[in-house]
Chains A and B, each alone.
Chain A
Amino acid sequence: MYIWVVLATFLAILASYTLSPREDIRKLTVEPLAEVFIAKMVTQHEAALAYVKYMKKANHPLPAKALEENEIKNFFPAGHSFSNDFIARIYCMDENRAITQGSSCGGSDGKRALVTYSPIPLRWLNTHVDPERPNVDFLNAMKNTINSGVMFGYMAPVDDTSSEKNISGSHVAIVDRDNSENYLYKAIADDGEFRKMCDVTEEGKICLVYQSNL
């Protein structure tokens, strides 16, 4: 009898080592990996945003286009570099929020937005739900990486487009770190270039989107 008690004690000690030494072990070990992806995109968006503001300050025309490496590489933090995994694109819309082109856009009645987007890697997607959405680690990583108050989050379909906040009647929401819905401009969500990479109606095309009004 005595031997069994001792044996059980050892086994319990062994089993205890399989438990995490800290409750927030995933926050310390897994979420940082997701933060890397998010941080790269945020860094690229902020570099693009710094470039755009710099150009605006100089009254330089900003065409509607995807920004390229040679344009924004000097606006990254030290050590960071441009990545082709993320698209930072300037969108121009007229007063009816329809996409316009041209060498310079976003007149007095129009809107101009900088949108950076990239599909979320499957590792961070919960594919067992419909529609797909990021898993908890990724959502927590979003909280760790970026502050609230910016239109940054993952894409989600919108069933009811009649919300007052949904001015453009968009069918795509940007769910941010606080799980509050913002809305991607409808013209952008319907844009063919955007939908090549991001489309809420297709599997595996759930994107992380960072939208900044210019």
Chain B
Amino acid sequence: MIRKLEKLLGEKGSMMVEALAMLGLISMVTPVLYKKAAERTTELQDINAASQMRTLSKAMDDMIKDHYSDLGNKDNNETLIEFENGEASFGTTDLDIKQYLPAGFNLEQNKLFDDYQMRIIRNVAATDIPGSDDVHISLTGLVVAPALENNQGNNFNTRAAKIASMIGANGGVTKDDNINGVQGIWQLKAGDYGLDGLPNNSVAATSLHAINADSGVGAEDVLYRVDKDGDKKYNTMSTTLFLGNNDMREVHRIIADSSKDNKLIIGAVNAQNDDPDTIYNDDELTEANLLVKGIANVSQKFSVGEDGENAILFAGLDGTNPFAQFRTDPATYLRLTGNQKIETKTDGEINMNAGGKTTIDAKGIDITSDSQDLNIKTIGGGANGYIRLDSNRNIVSKSLGTTSFTAWADNDKLELGSMGISATTKNGGITLATNEVDNKEKAKQGQILLNAESLINLDSEDIMELHANNEVNITSGTDIMLSSGSAITIDGPDTYINANGYLHLTHDGKNGGEIRLLYESDHNSHVTLDENMVEMGSGDQKIQVNGADRFVRFAGTGSSSSGAVGVHDGYAFMKTGTDNDRDGGATIYLSGDENRGHAYIKAGNNKALVAVEQPSSDGGQVTLRSHEYGINMSSYVDNTIKSSLQLHSDATLKGDDIILDGDGEIRNIAPVTKFYESGSDVPVSNNSVLNNGIVINHKGMIALPMATGTKKTELAATNGKQDIAGYIKADRLLSNVEYKYPLLQSGDYTKPTSGNGGYDAYQVNPAYTSVMHDIKLTTRGGARLSDILPDFINKGIYVIDNTYREDSQSWEGYTVNTSGEVSGHGGECATNDHNCITTPWLGFVPAPQCPPGYVKVIAINPIRWKMADAYSIAIEPTEGDVSQKFRNYFIQHTNPTDARFELEETDGSSGSHTHEVAQGMPLTFQTNTWLNTTISGYYENNTAKTGTFYGWHAIMGFLYHGSEYLDYLQKVNPTGSYEGKIIWNIFPVYNEELAAVTNVYCYFERRTMDGNNNATGWEWDSDLVDNSYDQIQHFRAGYNSKPSDYVDRLNDPALGYTEPW
């Protein structure tokens, strides 16, 4: 029980604690609740304020767009329109923004801001485009809500910015007279727009989009319904107009403009897929319907293209007329006008029935009838009932059938043009006939009269016949020309062709055409060509005598003036005399014209023989003689004119001087060609050569080409290896110049006595033997000359000594001229002047003159020097020249007695005493111990490797390390730099103390050289030397075991011989 009471006691205490806690919690949370409630109220106020600004800004924009025509008028000069209580007056427009606000919008109900102020800003863009008088005007609306006085502090600026942000991108807030757009997107200076003194934290909204002529109402992109200031562009569509399946009603007129092909196209296309920029061609609108209604205007139904593919003019509405009709009233007429073409197409007939005359006036008329006759006729006769073909040019009939002009009645006439008649037929004929018998000038019945003042041209591609039962006279005042592609036949009892000018009988030679003069065989008549003058053509024309064994005889008064040309007994002949035999007769001359004409005797085929023969029994001869241009023999070989003179065996070409003169080659293709001295006998053996045979080839050469495709070793040995192609066999090859070098024995150089040595067998022009690949010497065991020639050729030996005075100039600055004279040195000492101090430069050694392929080499060897002199060092002298100072400073002992030390006692009685050097010096110094000789190459102008190489400076002297003799050197010349250098001749070297001998060589450079004559490597150039022989590696092996190609090395591999001999 007690425990239960205690529990209750505890519960009562807890309730009190809970009540206290709740009270505390309420006291803490309540302010938060109030704060949150206040923030919510504030936020809602902000949102509402922003919404009001957006509404006002939109209303402002709408108002500006509606009044843009006035506001955007360029003639208005105002740049700012101010509003009072939402109203403003501008130009002819009263602006009231309240008309654009939502119903119930109260401009004065704003809890956070003062009364709204509004502005319209006109921004006129200056134009700088030449020739443009237009200006660009953009309008911007501005709505400002000034902050109330208690909201102008800093505690409100964040809230004002938040409100502006909620307006959107066109929202803004003011600070320090500036209206700043959200996040700085725009900025206006309030004072510029009549808003001076605008408090901070005011909220503004501006037009987000510039309102101008191109951005909305008033833009030229909009089609105006009314006349806009007389400017057509506002009423002009600049693209295809789509009406969206709506009708176009109450149209007054539709007028096509010439800017688009001058066409009015009415059709239907698929508007859904249509590109409005496309202008369709007519044929692309074939499926379109054009429906014109209105019986009062078209009187009958008028429809295009509703039935099938073709446009059809429909029959009358009531079906009374089975045709479509264009009809005019009696006072007017129908005109079809087309710039390009007026075309009528029908599957049936086209009938043109005119009450008056039908005139077709065109630049050209084609009347074509397919498979039917084309009839042009007059009906009814009368004076004007004829058909007249009247043309300023030709009237041409190209009918495949007959072209017939027929006059039926007696008085009818057929007139063909006065300027000329050209009748051309192919497979038909031309018939001209008349019955007008009374007029002599007109052709009568049965006659054909061709009468012209100028040319009558009867031209036929086939046979043309002039056929008469009586005479045929062709008479002309000038020429008569009968021209035919085929035969021309004039056949009559008597045929006269009488011309005052030329009578031309011509044919073109086609199809074997010919001109024939025939005689009537039954009466044995003949054709007579006037004996006074008969001319026959030349050139390709020919005179032909038909039949076997016929001839043309030239009948003269006797045998000497008669002759014949013809065929008889199988010969064609031309001979003089009165008989027809081929033999006999007198002289026959074949001569050309007087200048350079030719007379040809020509055989018919390859086997034909043209012979000029004189029977041997008569002992005569055939002479071909020409006085000026020689005798020309030529034949055609492979369509090329080639001269060929073929003679029988053992033929002799004999003359005083026989000259073979050709512009090209003179070839001798005979197996053996022999030249003999005149009168000598012909040798029996082909291989024998007469001593007297001489060949003189003046200023030329003998070329013996090697046989191609064969190797000499494959020839039979019996032929003799020296008898194959490529050899010149001769006792001697004699130079064409006099051989003056007296190697031969005295006497006749050209015929030395045999056995007098190796030089009497041949003489070879040395200029050409020098380019031989190599020469093998029998006297040296077959050694090749290239093998035994020395690589070094000594070109000179010079002995040089030091005779030039020491000078401050280095030999590197000396110059050498082309005569080998050196300038820049100090000059030579006097002879035997042993006190003359000399330079290490001993002189200049000229380069040897070497043949190509050899390099210039020098070797220098010292042969005399004076070195390792020992000196005693005296007190350093202060006076005298260098030589004197040196001799006073360095005392050379030449007398051994004087060179030893001797001590002299000067005070030695007792105690300390002093010894003095009575003779000699306590120290010795040895100079001139490091002898050196060297050379320095010299090029032209003393420029290394850019000019001609002249030779070498020879240098000889003693070397010293500068660092070792530094003290002495600095005393001699304190300003010099000697550390780490090699110094020549620190201590004097006197005249002629040194001497050297130099040898200059030409050294055959076996290595490959580059463009600067520098060796490219240590490998020998195989083009220059036999690099298979290595004098180092083959030091002994070459003697004991010759390489397998040893024989080839001795031989010339290029010639292909199997052994050297």
- Seen from chain A, the residues whose Cβ lies within 8 Å of a Cβ on chain B are 2-3, 6-7, 10, 13-14, 17, 21-22, 28-29, 32-33, 35-36, 38-40, 42-43, 46-47, 49-50, 53-55, 57-60, 74-81, 144-145
Bound complex: CA of A26 vs CA of B144, how far in Å?
24
Bound complex: CA of A2 vs CA of B16, how far in Å?
12
User: In the complex, which residues 37-59 of chain B have their Cβ closer than 8 Å to any Cβ of chain A?
Assistant: 39-40, 43-44, 47, 50
Bound complex: CA of A33 vs CA of B131, how far in Å?
43
Q: Which A residues are CB-close (under 8 A) to B131?
A: 58-59
Q: Which B residues are CB-close (under 8 A) to A14?
A: 29, 32-33, 36
Known A50-B214, A145-B208; judge A32-B171 contact (CB<8 A).
yes
24 interchain pairs, CB-CB under 8 A? A2-B22, A3-B19, A14-B29, A14-B32, A14-B36, A32-B165, A32-B169, A33-B182, A39-B185, A42-B208, A43-B210, A46-B210, A57-B220, A58-B129, A58-B131, A60-B129, A75-B136, A77-B140, A77-B207, A78-B142, A78-B186, A79-B186, A79-B206, A81-B186
Whether, in the assembled complex, B187 has its beta carbon less than 8 Å from a beta carbon of chain A, the answer is: yes
Contact A10 B26 (CB under 8 A): yes
Whether, in the assembled complex, B151 has its beta carbon less than 8 Å from a beta carbon of chain A, the answer is: no
Contact B168 A32 (CB under 8 A): yes
CB distance from A73 to the nearest CB of B (A): 9
Number of B interface residues, CB 8 Å? 54
Q: Which A residues are CB-close (under 8 A) to B26?
A: 6, 10
Whether, in the assembled complex, B574 has its beta carbon less than 8 Å from a beta carbon of chain A, the answer is: no
Bound complex: CA of A147 vs CA of B454, how far in Å?
92
Contact A57 B140 (CB under 8 A): no
Contact bitstring B1-22, A, C-beta under 8 A = 1, else 0? 0000000000000000011011
Q: Which B residues are CB-close (under 8 A) to A81?
A: 186-187
Bound complex: CA of A55 vs CA of B142, how far in Å?
28
7 tightest A-B contacts by CB?
A: A39-B169, A74-B125, A58-B132, A79-B186, A78-B140, A17-B36, A77-B210
Whether, in the assembled complex, B181 has its beta carbon less than 8 Å from a beta carbon of chain A, the answer is: yes
A-B pair number, CB within 8 angstroms: 142
B136 in complex: contacting residue of A6, A54, A145, CB < 8 Å:
A54
CB distance from B236 to the nearest CB of A (A): 14
Contact B44 A21 (CB under 8 A): yes
**In the complex, residue of chain A having the shortest beta-carbon distance to the beta carbon of B193:** A78
CB distance from A57 to the nearest CB of B (A): 6
Q: Which A residues are CB-close (under 8 A) to B44?
A: 21-22
Contact B134 A50 (CB under 8 A): no
Q: Which A residues are CB-close (under 8 A) to B200?
A: none
B18 in complex: contacting residue of A3, A13, A53, CB < 8 Å:
A3
CB distance from A122 to the nearest CB of B (A): 16
Find the residue from B123, B125, B132 having the highest chain A CB count within 10 A. Answer: B125
Contact B123 A74 (CB under 8 A): yes
Whether, in the assembled complex, B170 has its beta carbon less than 8 Å from a beta carbon of chain A, the answer is: yes
Contact A50 B138 (CB under 8 A): yes
Bound complex: CA of A57 vs CA of B132, how far in Å?
9
Bound complex: CA of A32 vs CA of B168, how far in Å?
4
CB distance from B51 to the nearest CB of A (A): 8
Contact B182 A43 (CB under 8 A): no
Contact A80 B36 (CB under 8 A): no
**In the complex, residue of chain A having the shortest beta-carbon distance to the beta carbon of B178:** A79
CB distance from B783 to the nearest CB of A (A): 79
A74 in complex: contacting residue of B39, B126, B206, B209, CB < 8 Å:
B126
Q: Which B residues are CB-close (under 8 A) to A32?
A: 165-169, 171, 182
Contact A77 B206 (CB under 8 A): yes
**In the complex, residue of chain B having the shortest beta-carbon distance to the beta carbon of A38:** B169
Q: A29-B165, A53-B214 are in contact. List 8 more A-B contacts (CB 8 A).
A: A3-B19, A10-B25, A14-B32, A55-B129, A58-B132, A60-B129, A77-B206, A78-B188
Q: Which A residues are CB-close (under 8 A) to B36?
A: 14, 17
Contact A39 B166 (CB under 8 A): no
Contact B25 A50 (CB under 8 A): no
Q: Which A residues are CB-close (under 8 A) to B166?
A: 28-29, 32
B47 in complex: contacting residue of A2, A28, A36, CB < 8 Å:
A28
Contact A60 B132 (CB under 8 A): yes
**In the complex, residue of chain B having the shortest beta-carbon distance to the beta carbon of A53:** B214
CB distance from A206 to the nearest CB of B (A): 21
Q: Which B residues are CB-close (under 8 A) to A17?
A: 36, 39-40
Known A6-B22, A78-B123, A145-B208; judge A40-B134 contact (CB<8 A).
no
Q: Which B residues are CB-close (under 8 A) to A3?
A: 18-19, 21-22
Bound complex: CA of A145 vs CA of B162, how far in Å?
19
Whether, in the assembled complex, B121 has its beta carbon less than 8 Å from a beta carbon of chain A, the answer is: yes
Contact bitstring B148-176, A, C-beta under 8 A = 1, else 0? 00000000000000100111111100000
Contact A36 B182 (CB under 8 A): yes
Contact A36 B185 (CB under 8 A): yes
Q: Which A residues are CB-close (under 8 A) to B134?
A: 54, 57-58
Contact B47 A22 (CB under 8 A): yes
Contact bitstring B237-268, A, C-beta under 8 A = 1, else 0? 00000000000000000000000000000000
Find the residue from B26, B126, B165 having the highest chain A CB count within 10 A. Answer: B165
Contact A39 B208 (CB under 8 A): yes
Contact A77 B129 (CB under 8 A): no
Q: Which A residues are CB-close (under 8 A) to B162?
A: 29
CB distance from A8 to the nearest CB of B (A): 11
Contact A43 B206 (CB under 8 A): no
Whether, in the assembled complex, B478 has its beta carbon less than 8 Å from a beta carbon of chain A, the answer is: no
CB distance from A7 to the nearest CB of B (A): 6
Contact B210 A75 (CB under 8 A): yes
Bound complex: CA of A158 vs CA of B182, how far in Å?
35
CB distance from A123 to the nearest CB of B (A): 12
Bound complex: CA of A29 vs CA of B134, how far in Å?
42
Contact B215 A46 (CB under 8 A): yes
CB distance from A40 to the nearest CB of B (A): 5
Contact B188 A79 (CB under 8 A): yes
Q: Which A residues are CB-close (under 8 A) to B202?
A: none
**In the complex, residue of chain B having the shortest beta-carbon distance to the beta carbon of A52:** B214
Contact A145 B47 (CB under 8 A): no
Whether, in the assembled complex, B212 has its beta carbon less than 8 Å from a beta carbon of chain A, the answer is: yes
Bound complex: CA of A77 vs CA of B167, how far in Å?
17
Bound complex: CA of A53 vs CA of B132, how far in Å?
13
Contact B40 A46 (CB under 8 A): no
Whether, in the assembled complex, B183 has its beta carbon less than 8 Å from a beta carbon of chain A, the answer is: yes
Contact B206 A75 (CB under 8 A): no
Q: Which A residues are CB-close (under 8 A) to B33?
A: 10, 13-14
B214 in complex: contacting residue of A10, A35, A40, A49, CB < 8 Å:
A49
A50 in complex: contacting residue of B19, B40, B179, B212, CB < 8 Å:
B212
Find the residue from B126, B140, B181, B210 having the highest chain A CB count within 10 A. Answer: B210
Known A32-B171, A36-B169, A38-B169; judge A75-B186 contact (CB<8 A).
no
Bound complex: CA of A81 vs CA of B179, how far in Å?
14
Bound complex: CA of A17 vs CA of B33, how far in Å?
9
Bound complex: CA of A142 vs CA of B18, how far in Å?
56
Q: Which B residues are CB-close (under 8 A) to A60?
A: 129, 132
